[in-house]
Amino acid sequence: MKLNPIFTSHMVFAAGKPIRVWGVGPGKGEILFAGAVCRIDTEDDFWMAEFPPMEYSGGHEMRCVLDGREEVLSDIAIGEVYLMAGQSNMQFKLREGANAGMQADESLDIRLFAPAHSENKETILPSDGWVKNGDRIDGWTALGYLTADALARKKGITVGLVTCYQGASCIESWVPAGTFAALGIHIAPEDKHYDHRHPLFERWNGDAYLYNFAFSQVCPFAFSAVVWYQGESDTTPAEGRVYAAELAALIDIWRRDLKNETLPFIIVQIADFTPRLDEGWRLVQQAQLDIQTMRSGVKTVISRDVCETDDIHPKTKQPLALRIAAALEDI
């Protein structure tokens, strides 16, 4: 029996949400946390223990005894935990943009967990566990870090980030195989964005690849909210016409898998990009605006007026991060 890699010292659980701890391997064990104990006795490969929600706090310890092997996790906080998901503008690092060289305010309690990444290009690895503010922040997601900085500064709480992104990823890779076909969505290969078949990107743009590889790593963690920034790789006219239905399906599926039917979603509308302000691009932007009326608990954040328009990866992220932080407070 072993814990999922997301469970390490310095981790953050979401306040007011069920505290789920899971792992793999049959056997017997017990998890002790906050004065409660969950016992496990299973022949299945997957197991899970669940504790009741807690209020904002810190300094907790979790004792895990699995098949007689004890592991103690320390410095656990209860705060807000956000799943930062999508493609390259979410993956975009602090060192790559206008905030390169930013120094962490270590009085703020911000923590990051980075699951295994498809490209193996991340500098923060699952083996690092949860890393804390000040530890290599130049390699953190810029939008994630700047959003967390704003929220931690304003609310005085611990903010945890979990990443779930892949540059040049298409939305169909983030849902189970056959999801869109079941909705009657059929797009000919030649009518899809080139990223679907690009020699460097096609590996992770296969049907359900990132759903199985990336998203599954963090299920069923209880998040405070999901921040989704994706769409540039689905901007042909044929894709743009169905993107709203695809995004609605993704929200439904992720809420189901994360065991929270009302899980808040912040959708970041893709920025204007001067070379590509064509029909497909505008259709995706409109779909990302419309999703607010299609699903409850969803809020769209506009980026076009606070980002550069001559770069598909705008380097100015802080004004957008402030909008995301405000949306997370309001939703």
Query: CATH classification of 2-77 is 2.60.40.10, yes or no?
Result: yes
Tell me the mean pLDDT in the region 78-96: 97
Q: What is the pLDDT of residues 160-219, one digit of tens each?
A: 999 999 999 999 999 999 999 999 999 999 999 999 999 999 999 989 999 999 999 999
Residue limits of CATH 2.60.40.10 in the chain:
2-77
Kind and range of the H or E run holding 64: strand 57-66
Cβ contacts of residue 246 below 8 Å, gap of 6+? 171, 172, 175, 180, 183, 185, 234
pLDDT above 90: percentage of residues in the chain? 96
Per-residue pLDDT, 275: 86
Tokens of 241: 């016409």
Query: CATH classification of 78-330 is 3.40.718.10, yes or no?
Result: no
> Cα(276)–Cα(235) distance, rounded to whole angstroms?
9
Per-residue pLDDT, 120: 82
- Least Cα distance to 88 among 76, 80, 97 occurs for 97
> Cα(230)–Cα(225) distance, rounded to whole angstroms?
16
Residue limits of CATH 3.40.50.1110 in the chain:
78-330
pLDDT at 224 over 90: yes
Q: How confident is the model at residue 24 (pLDDT cuts 50, 70, 90)?
A: very high
110-to-10, 45, 169, 266 alpha-carbon distances in Å: 10, 33, 27, 20
Per-residue pLDDT, 277: 85
Per-residue pLDDT, 52: 97
Per-residue pLDDT, 129: 97
Per-residue pLDDT, 66: 97
Per-residue pLDDT, 203: 94
> Cα(293)–Cα(169) distance, rounded to whole angstroms?
25
Per-residue pLDDT, 102: 93
Q: What is the pLDDT of residues 245-289, one digit of tens each?
A: 999 999 999 999 999 999 999 999 999 998 888 999 999 999 999
- Residue 71 pairs in a beta bridge with 64
- Least Cα distance to 86 among 303, 322, 310, 326 occurs for 303
Q: What is the pLDDT of residues 47-82, one digit of tens each?
A: 999 999 999 999 999 999 999 999 999 999 999 999
